[in-house]
Amino acid sequence: METLAELVRVRLGDRKLTQMNRIGDFTPVLHTEVIYPTQLDGWRGRREAQRRGGVGTTVLVGTATLELAPVPLHEQIYQFATTALTLGCDHIQILPLFLLPGVHVMEDIPQEVRLAQHHLGERVLIEQRPYLGAHPNLGQLLVNQKATLRADAKILLSHGTRRSGGNQFVENVAEELGAIVAYWSVQPTLLEQVKGLVVEGYEQITIVPYFLFSGGITDAIAQAVAHLGEQFPTVQLNLGEPIGATVELANLIIDLIEVTQG
C-alpha cells in the first residue's frame, strides 16, 4: 500500500496537477494492512523548489486503515489533517480503497469521516471520494492479465458482500473476463463453481482473485485451490495474482481524485 501511495504522489507530480497543491489523499485499505501517515517528501520537494525559484507541483499523500490499527480511523484522519494544516493544506480527499460498496464503504467509513470532521471543525474540509471499485475501467486491469487468457474456463473470485446490489460490479467484471463468479463470503462459493465446471467437462480452470493485494484471504484462497487440486486431480487449476500496486491502478485512483478538480 505504501508503494501505491507513492505511485499516486509521483504520478500527480508528473502530470503537474497544480490545483492539487492543497489536497491530501487519505486511503483506508481493505481490512488487514496497517500503514501509517505521513509522506512529506513531496512537500519538502515543493518547498525546496520554491526556495530555488522553481515551480513545484506536489500533493501530500497518506494512508490509513479501518481495522487493525492502534487508533480508530477517525483519529488517523485527524492526525493526518493536523499535519496537513501545518503545511497549509485545508482540504483532504479520502478515497476508500475498497472494491465493493459493502458495509465498510457505505456505513463505517462515512461514520469515521463524520467523527473526524466534527473534531476538526471548519479548519479542514474532508471530502470522501467514490470507492475504488466504482471506477468503470477497473475490470480492465484483470482483463489485461495474461494468465486469465490461458484457460478453458475462468472464475472471478471476489470477497463478496451481503448488501443488496453490492456484487453487481463483480458480475460486470466477470462478463468482461468471460468468467463466472464465485465469492469468498457468500454464495456461490469457489467449491460450488469449480464442481460445476468439472461436471461440464472443463479440464483447465483459471481462478482470478478480485482482490487488491496479497494478504490473509489470498493465502487462504491459495490453500483452498490446493485442496481443490487434490479433490479434482484430472483438472488443472491455475490461480492468478491480485491486482497489486501498479501505475495503472494509481492512474485509476487519480481519475477518482480529479473528478472535482477544475
For residue 78, give the nearest of 33, 121, 46 by alpha carbon: 121
For 112, other C-beta atoms within 10 Å of its C-beta total 22
pLDDT at 249 over 50: yes
Q: How far apart are CA 59 and CA 19, in angstroms?
A: 9
Q: What is the pLDDT of residues 35-69, one digit of tens each?
A: 223 333 333 334 443 333 334 444 789 999 999 89
Which parts of 15-94 fold into alpha helices (H)? 41-51, 73-86
Q: How far apart are CA 192 and CA 100, in angstroms?
A: 22
C-alpha distances in Å from residue 42, one per residue of 64, 141, 225 = 18, 28, 42
pLDDT at 244 over 80: yes
Contacts of 260 (CB under 8 A, 6+ apart): 127
Q: How far apart are CA 132 and CA 20, in angstroms?
A: 19
How far from the centroid of its chain's Cα atoms is residue 256's Cα? 12
- CA dihedral for 43, 45, 48, 52, sign (positive or negative): negative
User: What is the pLDDT, as a whole number, of residue 132?
Assistant: 95
Q: How far apart are CA 3 and CA 242, in angstroms?
A: 15
Phi-psi region of 2 (alpha: psi -120 to 50; beta: other; left: phi over 0): alpha
Confidence label for 87 from pLDDT (cuts 50, 70 and 90): confident
Q: Which domains does the chain have, with CATH numbers?
A: 2-133+245-258 (3.40.50), 146-239 (3.40.50.1400)
Q: What is the pLDDT of residues 106-149, one digit of tens each?
A: 999 999 999 999 999 999 999 999 999 999 898 888 877 655 55
- Mean pLDDT over residues 3-11, rounded? 91
Mean pLDDT of the chain: 82
Provide the residue type at 209 as one letter: P
Which parts of the chain fold into alpha helices (H)? 2-14, 41-51, 73-86, 103, 109-120, 138-143, 168-177, 190-199, 216-231, 247-258
Q: What is the pLDDT of residues 162-197, one digit of tens each?
A: 988 889 989 999 998 899 999 999 999 999 999 999
